[in-house]
Every structure is written in C-alpha cells, then in structure tokens.
Amino acid sequence: MLMSRICLAGILAIVALNPGCNSPVNSNPPAGGVAPVILSASVQANPVNVVSAVVAVHVTGAATVRVEYGTDTLFASATGSVNVVGDSASIPVIGLVASTAYQMRVVATGTQGARSRSQPMTFTTGTLPADIPHYAVSASGTPSPGYVMCGFTAGDTSLGGFYAIVMNNNGDIVWYRKFQTQVTDFQRQPNGNFTVFASLGQDDRHFYELDRLGNVVNEYRAADGIETGAHELRLFEGGYVMFGRRDSTMDLAAYGGGVTSVAGEIVEYHQPGRPVLRWSAFSHLTPDEAAPDIPMNAPKMDPWHLNAIEVDTDRNLLISFRNSDEIVKVDGATGAIIWRLGGRKNQFAFDADPLNGFSHQHGIRRLANGHLIMFDNGNLHLPPESRPVEYQIDETAHTAHLVWQYRTSPSLAAAALGFAHRTDDGHTLICYGTAQHLIEVDAANVEQWRLTVTSPRYFIYRAFRLASL
C-alpha cells in the first residue's frame, strides 16, 4: 500500500471530558483488597506535539495508575503503569495519530491488586503542522513491528520544516518535535529518552535530551566553548561520549597544499571510574590521510570529518572518519590508536568484498554477534554506489571478512548521510541519506518496507527501528 503523508496546518487538540469521572468502576472483587477511589481525572493536550496527551489523576488507595485508550470503548491500547505519589499522578499518552478521536479511561490499581476505572473521557488529536516534509511509504512484505524514528535535515537551511519524528509502519506520524534548525543525529538512548542535535531558538546548535513527551530534560555542549559536533552523542550508565570541532591554521606544503585552516575533532569520553578522555584528531591523525577527493589546497580543509562513535564491548572507542575513509579503534583509557580499518593507513585485509572496502562511510556499530555494520556511502566506488555492509573482524589477524551486504538494483548513490540498523528479528533498516530512501530488508535481503522522501531538498540523516514508544 502506498501512502503519501500530507501534512495540514497544526491546531491544538480538543479535549472533552465526560461527567462522572470520579465514580470508580470496580473490576476486581473485594477479596483483592479495597478498590481505589478515583477522585478526578482529566486529559490535556501536549503543547509540544498534537499526537500525545497527558492524563492527570487524583486517587486514593492506589499504588499505580495507567490509561486504557482506543478509537472506541473497547480500549484496545494501554500505557505503562505510573506510580502514584501522594494522591496524584500524571500519565503520558503517546503514539496517537493526528486528527483522530480517542476514548480514554484511567485504571487505578491498589497495593493488593484491586482495580477501579474512571468513566471514559474523549480526546481528539489535532492536525499535523503543514511544514513537515512529505514522504511516501510502501510495504511490500512484513516489516518489523513497531516504529521508525528519523530526523529531517535539508540542503537549504532557509526551507524550515526541521523535525525529529517517529512513525508507524503505515507512515502515520505518532511523535514529533519541531526545531528551528536542521536535525542531524536523532536517536533513542539506553535510558529511554531521545537525544537530538538541533536548536530550539536563537542559541547555538547542540544536543537536547528529551523525555517521551518531548520536554527538554538535559542539554549537552562540547567543552571549552568549541563547536559541538553534530553527528553523535552516546549516553550510557554513568557517562557519555560526544565530540567538538575546532579549526587550526596549518602549513600543508609537505602534503601539496599551503597555509590553510584545517577542521578537526576533539572527542570527549566521560566514563565511570576513569578521568575524562579528551582525544584530539590533530594529535593522532595527519592531513595527508584525507581521501583522494578531499583537496589539500582548499581554503578550509576537512581531512578527517568524524561522523560516528561506538562504545565497543571492551570500553574502547570505534570512531568513523568519513573524509579519510577509515574506522579507528581508540584505547578508552589512554587514547592510543589500537588499529585502523580502511583508508590510506589501513591495517586490515578485506576478504570476500567485491568492492574491496568502503568509502565515506557513516554509522559504525558493533553487533551482538561481534561483527561491525556500517553504511558504505561508496563515493569512490566506480561507479559510485551506496550499500550497508557487515564485516567479521579478526582484530588479531587483521582481516575484515564481508559476511553481508545489500545492493539495490538499480544502485543508489548517497553522497552523504546514511545508516544501517539491524533489528532483533534479523531485518536491517537502511537509510540512504541524500538518496532520499529508507529501505527495510529481511535476513534473506528481500525488501519488506520502503520510505521515499518526496519533498525536494529534504533528507533523513539517520533512521532507527523502535519496538515501542
């Protein structure tokens, strides 16, 4: 089924409360304890987006509350349970569809299991903002269950319409947050929150950490006042890793250039039990590592261009440098380079790879099976061709054995951006960046789902699968 998402002018959701919501309806017999008494319940629109709501409840005798909801009084869906503090609680209801009337009711559960339900409340979601970029979705098979999250950026910063969004498999937007500048890295972190690189106003672009309703709960900027790197923020228990960018004037005569400004990255690795590691590309890499299509005599040179960081299973770092076509493994304690995969200083032999490696890659990740997966933009392949690749890496023998790739026919070439996300069911969601496609394939490389960006000059930087919101 092909569906074009046509986005209309946004309005706030309409809320209608039926009377009598303070009258409990017991669903458990008295043997389960005394049923909680719901004193009041109300539903309010979320000011951040029109496809979520907040239910406020006052109740006595309850340990937890949740909301059951649906487009009719069968209440086919339910939120997770929220602990009652004192006699009140607020329950986020997310994952709704725009311009839809919902029935909602509160379920209160006592300490011994007795439950009460409020009378139904009617909540109507508003229409989506008109400037959300357009796209078309088609499902040719059985995609992974759940949702797809992605951030929209644009080739022209004057276009507006910069959104982080989550959609269901039909392409319906079920979560979004608007920003004033382009959205690059948008992902869910292990703590359940979202992080996104953008700006909400006149301030500098940096990372925001958002809760499930889209409220800002934290902000991250590079240290020492340097520009915050747009491509990656990874949170983990007790710490995080990100990077900043700064320029340094260098004489590149030895490399065929002249005196010029060189852009480089400073990685910040905040980890429990260790001092903060600040790792500088200027200290560990040289400008002549740049790929052949990166000119040495440019007024401002970008020889490395860090675009992804993975915290490896041994707490060391895997860092992707697009403009030098390499993945560098860095000791997380000392900053020493352990090995290099790809590029001019490659230390690995590529095996079973018909294209003999990758170029201008994005989105390095370590899989549960120990392999490395990335999106090979393939700018320097002849002809240029983009593909996701998975390598079995032998870090002792220094071999990279290609165990999986997906190549479209005809081929797609994404000069920039991109990602490959392997899901628990063995599917892979592939973001083709500037080629304006998302394609999901199963373990047999059969296409199951596709999204095509139909708004000119809009692109998706990365895309991930979510099992739930």
Q: Tell me the three-class secondary structure of the chain, residue by residue.
A: CEEECCCCCCCCCEEEECCCCCCCEECCCHHHCCCCEEEEEEEEECCCCCCCEEEEEEEECCCEEEEEEECCCCCCEECCCEECECCEEEEEECCCCCCCEEEEEEEEECCCCCEEECCCEEEECCCCCCCCCCEEEECCCCCCCCEEEEEEEECCCCCCCEEEEEEECCCCEEEEEEECCCCCCEEECCCCCEEEEECCCCCCCEEEEECCCCCEEEEECCHHHCEECCCCCEEECCEEEEEEEEEEEEECHHHCCCEEEEEEEEEEEECCCCCCEEEEHHHHCCHHHCCCCCCCCCCEECCCCEEEEEECCCCCEEEEEHHHCEEEEECCCCCCEEEEECCCCCCCEEECCCCCCCCCCEEEEECCCCCEEEEECCCCCCCCCCEEEEEEEECCCCEEEEEEECCCCCCCCCCCCCEEEECCCCCEEEECHHHCEEEEECCCCCEEEEEEECCCCEEEEEEEEECCC
Alpha carbon distances (Å) from 53 to 63, 174, 326: 22, 12, 45
Query: Do 119 and 146 sit in the same domain of this protein?
Result: no
Q: How confident is the model at residue 248 (pLDDT cuts 50, 70, 90)?
A: very high
- Look over the chain and give the mean of its residue pLDDT values, rounded to a whole number: 92
How many Å apart are CA 233 and CA 223, to the nearest integer? 14
Is residue 258 scored above 70 in pLDDT?
Answer: yes
Bridging pattern class, strands 234-236 and 239-251: antiparallel
What average pLDDT does range 443-458 have in this prediction? 97
For 17, the domain range is 2-124
What average pLDDT does range 6-19 have in this prediction? 33
Cα 285–463–78 angle (5° rounding)?
140
* Percent of the chain residues topping a pLDDT of 70: 93
How many Å apart are CA 208 and CA 195, to the nearest integer? 5
Q: Is the peptide bond before 383 cis (omega within 30 degrees of 0)?
A: yes
Q: What is the CATH classification number for the domain harbouring 81?
A: 2.60.40.10
Query: Do 155 and 94 sit in the same domain of this protein?
Result: no
How many Å apart are CA 358 and CA 344, to the nearest integer? 12
Q: What is the pLDDT of residues 58-99, one digit of tens each?
A: 999 999 999 999 999 999 999 999 999 999 999 999 999 999
The separation between CA 364 and the C-alpha centre of its own chain, rounded to angstroms, equals: 14
pLDDT in the model for residue 202: 76
Instruction: Among 76, 94, 124, give the residue marking a domain's end.
Output: 124
**234 vs 6, more confident:** 234
How many Å apart are CA 69 and CA 123, to the nearest integer? 10
Q: Which of 18-22, 339-343, 360-364, 403-407 bottoms out in mean pLDDT, i.e. has the lowest?
A: 18-22
| Total domains, the chain | 2
pLDDT in the model for residue 15: 34
Is residue 26 scored above 90 in pLDDT?
Answer: no
Q: What is the pLDDT of residues 149-189, one digit of tens each?
A: 999 998 887 888 899 999 999 999 999 999 999 999 999 99
Q: What is the CATH classification number for the domain harbouring 396?
A: 2.120.10.30
User: Does pTM surpass 0.75?
Assistant: yes
- Closest-CA residue to 66 (of 94, 91, 32, 84): 91
Query: Under a CB-based contact definition with an 8 Å cutoff, are residues 449 and 439 in contact?
Result: yes
Query: Do 174 and 33 sit in the same domain of this protein?
Result: no
pLDDT in the model for residue 158: 81
Residue 203 within any structural domain of the chain: yes
Query: Do 317 and 364 sit in the same domain of this protein?
Result: yes
Query: Do 211 and 103 sit in the same domain of this protein?
Result: no
Query: Do 448 and 334 sit in the same domain of this protein?
Result: yes
pLDDT in the model for residue 5: 37
What tokens does 185 get? 């890295």
Residue 164 within any structural domain of the chain: yes
Instruction: Among 124, 150, 180, give the residue marking a domain's end.
Output: 124
pLDDT in the model for residue 386: 98
Query: Do 293 and 364 sit in the same domain of this protein?
Result: yes
Query: Do 175 and 279 sit in the same domain of this protein?
Result: yes
pLDDT in the model for residue 256: 87
How many Å apart are CA 289 and CA 323, to the nearest integer? 9
Q: How confident is the model at residue 3 (pLDDT cuts 50, 70, 90)?
A: very low
Is residue 11 scored above 60 in pLDDT?
Answer: no
pLDDT in the model for residue 161: 86
* Percent of the chain residues topping a pLDDT of 90: 89
Query: Do 332 and 460 sit in the same domain of this protein?
Result: yes
pLDDT in the model for residue 447: 98
Query: Do 149 and 251 sit in the same domain of this protein?
Result: yes
pLDDT in the model for residue 157: 77
How many Å apart are CA 151 and CA 463, to the nearest integer? 7
Query: Do 198 and 344 sit in the same domain of this protein?
Result: yes
Q: What is the pLDDT of residues 358-381, one digit of tens each?
A: 999 999 999 999 999 999 999 999
Residue 130 within any structural domain of the chain: no
Q: Which of 105-119, 157-171, 299-313, 346-360 bottoms out in mean pLDDT, i.e. has the lowest?
A: 157-171
What average pLDDT does range 442-450 have in this prediction? 98
Is residue 208 scored above 90 in pLDDT?
Answer: yes
Residue 91 within any structural domain of the chain: yes
pLDDT in the model for residue 259: 94
How many Å apart are CA 450 and CA 311, to the nearest integer? 30
How many Å apart are CA 135 and CA 460, to the nearest integer? 11
Main-chain phi, psi angles of 172, to 5 degrees: -70, 130
